[in-house]
Structure 1
Amino acid sequence: MGLFELLQLLIIGLYLVGTVLFLVGTAAANPRLRRLAGILAVAGFALHTVDIALVFVQERGVALNASGTYLSILAWSILVIYFFFWWRFRLEFMALTVLPLALLFFLTSMTFSGIRVVMPKQLTMLFFGLHIGTLVLALGVLVMGFGAALAFLHYNKKIKTKAGLRSLGKDTPSLSIFDRVNHMVVAIGFPLYTLGLFSSFVWYWIAPGKMFVWDVMKISSLAVWGAFAFLFHQRMLLGWKGRKPAILMIIVFAAMVVSLLHHTITFRQMP
């Protein structure tokens, strides 16, 4: 592995770890983890700047003819804009979308540039195992959130009517408990789903014989991630409670189930 390929891996690693730490730090309300995530993002951005400079030095004018270069510059530009807004308005929460998107565009730029890093099979399988394991855990956590959301909406409707209120037993849990479960599911499930989704992109890039290609599976997974990211932002940073996050939790769960079913059918049809 050459220095240029090693630089690519370092950038991916810094962006990936920074993304995970920021998600965990936000979910756990831990400013130290968020600061560490910011430091890693800045370090990744610095190496990314060096990477773009090396591409232009080595390939000169030819670099502008490669679509991968434009995607890499796009990822770099997203971070430049984010750092400006963070410096000007202290909009730290925007890192929830900026870091994963920068990582995604950078990984995609590697695919279009034709750069391939041959890794040992055991190492690539670690990323695949991480992808499967975290998605399974995320879905398991979402099942709890789905049940809590249905219960919240059901009992909330009963409480609003006198007849329904009389039918409630003494052992019926309070709505705040269901809402608290919803909060915990969002705090745990979104970082798990993010880690599972983006580890698959890393696996596609480093696994021998694998080529990253946009298809319905990846687009639908990103759509689910976008809806989950919105719920995470509204719930964790803006303090959403009650009916709205419960409804959105049901939508995210249903979308994830449909996406996974589509993946299963597609894999069965593949030769």
Structure 2
Amino acid sequence: MTLVCYLAEGLALLGYLVAAVLYPQRLLRPESRSTRYARWGLILGAGLQGIGLLAHAGRAGGQVILGEYANVSFLFVLMIVAALLVLEARTDRPALGAFLAPVVFLLVLLTMFEGRVELPPIVNPWFISHIVLTLLAYVCFGAAFCMAMAYLVVDLLLKRKRLERVRLLPPLHVADRTAHVAVAVGFPIFTLGLGVGAAFFMARQLQLDIKMILSLVTWAVYAVYLFVHDGPGWRGRRLHLLLVLGFVLVLVNYTAARHHFKLVDLVAGA
């Protein structure tokens, strides 16, 4: 990896750290004007990370974006940042980053500590489709997590009559509706990604492992959420805690769980 890539990734991590610290500060101290600097830290981090990805991909002819776990993770982070900026723009609430900016920082930090694990050039269209669809679904679930956290915090603030902080986050009905839309979009994408991945792995006669099992559990959590959202059962906090659980499973599966087989033996072939 070139010096430009190292510098870009290091400075990007610094930008994400600024965002991860300043976004929650605005929520804790409503009179603070830290949101502007937090947003610029987030944008700076994403921009530098994008430069690092492009420089690294250019050196390897473009294949390296999906040819290294680190770059897939960095791409995932960029997609989450984009989703957060869209949510901020749509809701016009300055403290939403308090829930996703720390996640972004930790994802980048863990990825940098893990290092780069290179794979052969990925040419199998099914495997590429599985990766892309899963990342898109995870971003939708991240957006739902953000709005679910906003719902839970606003609900708590209203009960404690901390009205000066409520205005920093979306109203309960907006948070609930946006979270539901995000899951309604992400769930079929995730289902399709799981189906493509299952077909890819079953064709190679691979057995279930912890990563596959966690994916199925995650699918079940979001399926339950969609089933009960408009029904007479769960409401309010319990429903949104389900979204928090779902995204925690996503993060655990993405960062900690590993397949029991070596992907290097699978991804190069058709």
Query: TM tier, shorter chain?
Result: 0.3 to 0.5
Q: State which structure, 1 or 2, has the greater radius of gyration over its C-alpha atoms.
A: 1
Query: Whose helix proportion is higher, 1 or 2?
Result: 1
TM value normalised by structure 2: 0.47
